[in-house]
A and B are shown apart, each in its own frame.
Chain A
Amino acid sequence: GAVVSQHPSRVICKSGTSVKIECRSLDFQATTMFWYRQFPKKSLMLMATSNEGSKATYEQGVEKDKFLINHASLTLSTLTVTSAHPEDSSFYICSATPPGRYQPQHFGDGTRLSIL
């Protein structure tokens, strides 16, 4: 079945560091990938839609300069949290939908980001 791989699974770093998270579709091509953030005891919040070969589309309230998204190929999207601060600590999840009419989104395992 369709697999979405996310790396790394956990990151702990100092405040001010930039952190890159990768999302790969392993056995299908994805022109669109999605990035979510999950706060403790809360739902998944869509941050942005990553579009291959063009700029990402950000949801209202999400800082574009803070969360840089690059979708350089049909199987890879990256999310870079720039100059991370403790309030950026969260669980970040990517997803992609395989081609086909009745395909659900497939999620990566998530990245737990902890900023000290």
Chain B
Amino acid sequence: ETGVTQSPTHLIKTRGQQVTLRCSSQSGHNTVSWYQQALGQGPQFIFQYYREEENGRGNFPPRFSGLQFPNYSSELNVNALELDDSALYLCASSEAGTGGNSPLHFGNGTRLTVT
């Protein structure tokens, strides 16, 4: 069983640039969610994809967007980067939606630094 993998592990970007982060979900999981985690804080829900459609979104502006592909892998895109976007970005996969007792399986994250 392959776990959740994210790439890249670290990234440095300049304010105003755009970034794409990638995530491969765990085998058998059809739901992917993305989180932003600032240092010393809990993960903040960005959005979730189920069968290639967004089915939940947190309080993030539209410059945060995503995709899910037929193989259930996913991308997080952030446009017009701001300094406050510097954080650890976590991807998690699960078996079906957010309901029920399907636990989230997290990747190790991408550490994004915006200068």
Q: Do A and B bind each other?
A: no
Binding site for B on A (CB under 8 A): none
